Amino acid sequence: MSEHAGDARLLVEQIAKMLVDEPEQVLVNQVEEEETVLELTVSPDDVGKVIGRQGRVARALRNLVSATGVRTHKRYALEILE
């Protein structure tokens, strides 16, 4: 894992832990494909908090992840797993 890929993963992990009630259940897996996919898994009770109303929180997280990749010319995607 490169240094910058770790930064994006850690960014998602830290933000998700601040949003949920059970931060110990936050898990971010990184899958390398054409683009780096970050898979966010949280407690079933906290999925709604990570998605937000009308998906606003999820959209904001995805914007942060894609902005992280601009500097390194790498594409990131965020998937929220249930």
Q: What is the pLDDT of residues 39-55, one digit of tens each?
A: 999 999 999 999 999 99
> With 90 as the cut, is the pLDDT of residue 73 above it?
no
Phi/psi of residue 13, each to 5°?
Answer: -65, -45
What's the predicted TM-score (pTM) here? 0.86
Distance CA 13, CA 9 (A): 6
Q: Which domain holds residue 7?
A: 3-81
Name the burial class of residue 46, with classes exposed (0-12), middle (13-18) and buried (19+) by CB atoms within 10 angstroms of its CB: middle
Give the residue with greater pLDDT, 32 vs 5: 32
How far is Cα 73 from Cα 33, in angstroms, rounded to an integer? 15
Any idea what DSSP says for residue 46?
Answer: G
CATH, residue 7: 3.30.300.20
DSSP 33: S
Number of domains in the chain: 1
Q: Which of 13-17, 60-64, 69-73 has the lowest mean pLDDT?
A: 69-73
